Structure 1
Amino acid sequence: MRVLPVLLTFILLAVNAIPAWAGGEAVSVEPVELALNAHLDYLEDPQHVLSLDDVRRPDLGWERNSDYAFNKGFNDSSWWLRMRLTNPTDNPQPRLLEVGYAALDHIQIYVLEGDRLLQQWTLGDKQPYFQRPVDHRYFVVPVTWDAGQTLEIYLRVTTSGSAKAPLTLWGYQRFHTVDFVNTLVQGFYYGGMTSIALYNLLIFFVLRDRNYLYYVAFIISTVMTLAAQSGLAFQFLWREATLWNDLAIVFFTAATAAFASVFSLRFLRISSLSRRLGVVLRATFTLNVALIVAAFMMPYHWAAIIVLVNVLITIVVVVVAGIFALRSQIPSARIFMLAWSLLLSGAMVVILSHLGVLPVNLLTEYSTHFGSMLEAVLLSLALAQRINTERRLRFQAQADALDASQRANMELEERVRSRTAELEQLNVRLQKLSETDSLTGLANRRFLETRLREEWARCSRQQRPLTVMLLDVDFFKEVNDRYGHPAGDACLQQVANVVRGGLRWPADVAARYGGEEFCLLLPETDSSGAAAVAERVRQRVSAETVQVEDAAFTVTISVGVYTGLPVAGATPEDFIQRADAALYQSKQSGRNQVTVATG
């Protein structure tokens, strides 16, 4: 009878002697960058009841992870991960253990040597950011292996989102080098996207076209979605707002889909192509807006799944709209489809990764970054093409109006030039239009004042005379009152033709100064030469008959001339004032005469 108790005691001692670790061989920590995905085991805890002591029992159903990062998609379970790492060298090996996914609610990390607990951390985006042992967007903890030491590391992951945990063990220098490069890449991405958003926002303020506003909102939502998913927003924008950190991902993802819908609707003019497709896009937009509101009321787990499914629906609807616009030969549809294909392909990869269909790797993690950057560049080109098209049409209309009144032959020459040369010429002609009086074809007052300052400076340097001549149509109000405003316009045009005929040299300027008043600017002209020009113009005006419909009449002009040398202390406006005073003297002396003043 004594044999049975002894046998039972022996069995219990043997069971206790079985080591807790029953996984694979210990992995050396010598590499400065070690992906741990293929070296860890995982255990599902659907009831959330297993403790560290429980999972160290050798009778549990641990499974070996694949070469890909651990990823179980959306589920309600807790997940235990374990690995055994050793330092075969004679020197201590300080390392950083990184969990490379920012959207995990709760992470418990335990470091053990045998049965002795050496280190323990509680991390996750439900914890305030300042509690992290290493200031980083991902979850990073320091672990040091003494010479010849073997450690077991256990992680418990519980999250309402996608349960994935890419694990990497880093040497300190290697970690900071790679993180520096990643930071540069992130800075390039976010800086580039911000620049594109600001560029299009400025265009919106100039053009007041809501397409650009929706596009800016789409870019900002995309950037904020990726910043929230990558942990950068939690690191730099809302370190203490743990509740909002969860909501932000759902909020900005739904906002991205909403603005994608409304931008596609307006940019491709879908409502004018297909009423039904327009209704579908509006419904998609409304649903996404509703999900933005629902994000504050629904559990994150369900809100995230619903938003991701709705994003897939939005992708399908937008692609269908793009194909429809492409078949309808909308000018920007081809670039639109190429841009959205890149973005949506990246989004599809990320969504399938979140759902556990695709593995977690560099491509799946950054596919949306790559796609959204290329998409933003291409759509900005499409919007710029739209601006250029509208501007080209506007310039063309202005050029045609100017051609009809002055230089029809130049338009024929312009149309045979290349598009680049044509655009440059249109800009030049637009400048000319801004300097020309539309009624008379003479230079306007703005151009006159510019040329007056230029000739003033030149004549001042060379000490050459400068003449300013002001001409006013006598009794012009009576012409309008008696014959009508069309007759008045015809009168001004005929006087303008005579004034234009008074020009002698390319440097001379004839301009409409205002109302029925004209101005001649004659550089390097003395008072006698100016008086001759003024008298010739006065005589020609009085000699010509203005013919309008059934009426015919003549008009006269009064002229004030001032000639002088530009000297220090004087201004171009002084010449205008003195010519105006001479004009006033001609009016007071009976009109239809020339008064010359010199200084």
Structure 2
Amino acid sequence: MRHRDPIGFELRIAPASALEQGRKIDYLPLGMILGTLLLLTAWCLIQAGIHRDPVYAWYGLYAAAMTLTMAAVTGVAGQLFWNQSPFWADRAQGVLPIALSGINILFLRHLCSLAARYPKVDRLALGTGVLVLLMSAAYPWVEGWASNAMVSFSLLASLVLTFVLAGLAWRRGDPVGGWVLLAYAPLALTIVVVVVRLYGWITASWLTFDASAAASALAVPLLLGALHARSRDRHGVRTRVNKLTQQDALTGLLSAMAFEEQLKGAVSGAIMRREAAAVVVVEVVNLQAIRQAYGDEMAEQCLLRAVIKLHRVVRDSDPAGRIAPGRFGLVLEGVRSRAELQERMVRLLTAGLTPARGAALDIPLQFHLACVLLSERVMTPALLLRDLDRLLASMSPRTRRPIRFLDPDDSRGPPRNNPTDGGAPAGTVSSQSGSSGRSQGRSSGPDSAGPGAMV
């Protein structure tokens, strides 16, 4: 038996049953390792599709290349996959390790993210990775010492750049660097042994085959720890950026667009699943007067005070947003009756008129509230906000009825004689604290005090 490289196998003669038993024992750990790598590859590709994170896709490509390379080096692929092609069975022993080295360099370059702080090292890693991949494409047509030189260069270049990239990342306090160093420490020893064996300086042994397979299988799941650390950092930054775009800068509540998205979900739940909810638009009526009398700074402080008052009646799970300079939108989930909603709104009105403790200047906040129960009136979010806006516009600044409801839809049957409505007939707008109904945009007389008046 001859081979172009001095492998150093010893010729063994044994009964066929003993050799078959030994082969099965050798295949058992290989099957476990290859199966684990295939599961990691499939899981990472699924994560890449779910999270839309290219890091997981890079890792999936790396794990797949590692699995195929191990199958080729250990002889499993040559026996099961390309046993009909002797040329490729021989060349795959060099092509796949070289290609894996290039993929490894590009993967770690993307994972360590050193382009901003070390641009020269980043460009060196990119160029070396592309060069190694081109070498893998040219390897099948290279003979003699040049083929060994290509394998040695690719493995050693991948090893050196791995420790350079990981060391620089670890130096700047990045936990990814520590994970990469831990993953490649045992693999580095086996790569050196493989290169030394390639030139015939040592004979083939378990260290050049089984140990290299075990080190490669250990590196892949350890790199998963580095991948999780990097993905967690990037998703944390993305979450903070999304919060900046979805929150109002002054009050910390949802922005107008984000609130409309939450309102769409509430309307959809009311239509599809009959979920109880109420929508309230709160207007700080005297905000403009405060701005003119005391300036913009005091007006902003009053808006922050108004947010504090809102949190007294709004649960943490209820969406609340700033939809206009002096208006807030609320979605109160689980509200089933006007009486329940009116009780909470009365508390809000009272909180606005209550002076703040320790305040040098006592400025009451006058709220007007337009309300609707989604169990009574289901419309698109845009139409709901439009009708609530018109309802607020119909109130005079000195009204004694600051809480008003939109009337139920005609398709939902005759209006109920709710005690809180004073038995008023249905119009377009129903007053919460008066005893007579009035249509939207019309007034039958000046606002008069009623049982629900707060002042």
Distance 1:556 1:281, change over 3 A: closer
Residue 75 of structure 2, aligned match among 223, 231, 235: 231
Q: Any conservation in 2 of the 1:340–1:375 contact (CA below 8 Å)?
A: yes
User: Match for residue 305 of structure 1?
Assistant: 148
Distance 1:346 1:517, change over 3 A: same
User: Match for residue 254 of structure 2?
Assistant: 437
Residues 3-18 of structure 1: pairs in structure 2 closer than 5 A: none
Aligned-pair CA distance for 1:366: 1.2
Residues 421-570 of structure 1: pairs in structure 2 closer than 5 A: 437-438=254-255, 444-445=262-263, 468=278, 470-471=280-281, 497=307, 500=310, 503=313, 511=320, 518-519=329-330, 521=332, 527=338, 557=368, 559-560=370-371
In structure 1, C-alpha distance between the alignment counterparts of 2:209 and 2:341, rounded to whole Å:
80
- Residue 387 (str. 1) matches residue 237 (str. 2): no
Deviations 1:329-383 (A, max 9, x none): 4523333223222112112223333433223332322121111111112222122
Distance 1:159 1:453, change over 3 A: same
- Residue 314 (str. 1) matches residue 165 (str. 2): no
Distance 1:455 1:517, change over 3 A: farther
User: Match for residue 360 of structure 2?
Assistant: none
- Residue 179 (str. 1) matches residue 30 (str. 2): no
In structure 2, C-alpha distance between the alignment counterparts of 1:239 and 1:186, rounded to whole Å:
18
User: Match for residue 196 of structure 1?
Assistant: 40
User: Match for residue 422 of structure 2?
Assistant: none
The count of residues paired between Structure 1 and Structure 2 equals 379
Q: Any conservation in 1 of the 2:267–2:379 contact (CA below 8 Å)?
A: no
Partner secondary structure for residue 559 of structure 1: strand
Distance 1:498 1:441, change over 3 A: farther
Partner secondary structure for residue 137 of structure 2: helix
User: Match for residue 241 of structure 1?
Assistant: 85
Q: Specify every segment of 5 or more residues in structure 2 that has no aligned partner in the other structure, as ranges.
A: 290-295, 356-362, 408-414, 417-455
Q: Any conservation in 1 of the 2:320–2:331 contact (CA below 8 Å)?
A: yes
Q: Any conservation in 2 of the 1:502–1:533 contact (CA below 8 Å)?
A: no
User: Match for residue 359 of structure 1?
Assistant: 203
Residue 374 of structure 1, aligned match among 215, 218, 221: 218
Deviations 1:428-458 (A, max 9, x none): xxxxx9xx6247999953675699799977x
In structure 2, C-alpha distance between the alignment counterparts of 1:522 and 1:343, rounded to whole Å:
56
In structure 2, C-alpha distance between the alignment counterparts of 1:491 and 1:440, rounded to whole Å:
24
Distance 1:311 1:166, change over 3 A: farther
Q: Any conservation in 2 of the 1:251–1:295 contact (CA below 8 Å)?
A: yes
- Residue 258 (str. 1) matches residue 86 (str. 2): no
The CA RMSD measured in Å over matched residues stands at 5.5
Aligned-pair CA distance for 1:294: 2.0
In structure 2, C-alpha distance between the alignment counterparts of 1:269 and 1:225, rounded to whole Å:
26
Q: Specify every segment of 5 or more residues in structure 1 that has no aligned partner in the other structure, as ranges.
A: 1-156, 407-432, 458-465, 480-485, 545-551, 563-571
Q: Any conservation in 1 of the 2:277–2:332 contact (CA below 8 Å)?
A: yes
In structure 2, C-alpha distance between the alignment counterparts of 1:510 and 1:284, rounded to whole Å:
52
* Bigger fraction of residues in strand: 1
Residues 160-179 of structure 1: pairs in structure 2 closer than 5 A: 160-161=4-5, 163-179=7-23
Distance 1:402 1:527, change over 3 A: closer
Q: What TM-score do the two structures reach when normalised by structure 2?
A: 0.61
Partner secondary structure for residue 318 of structure 1: helix
User: Match for residue 116 of structure 1?
Assistant: none
* Bigger fraction of residues in helix: 2
In structure 2, C-alpha distance between the alignment counterparts of 1:438 and 1:263, rounded to whole Å:
38
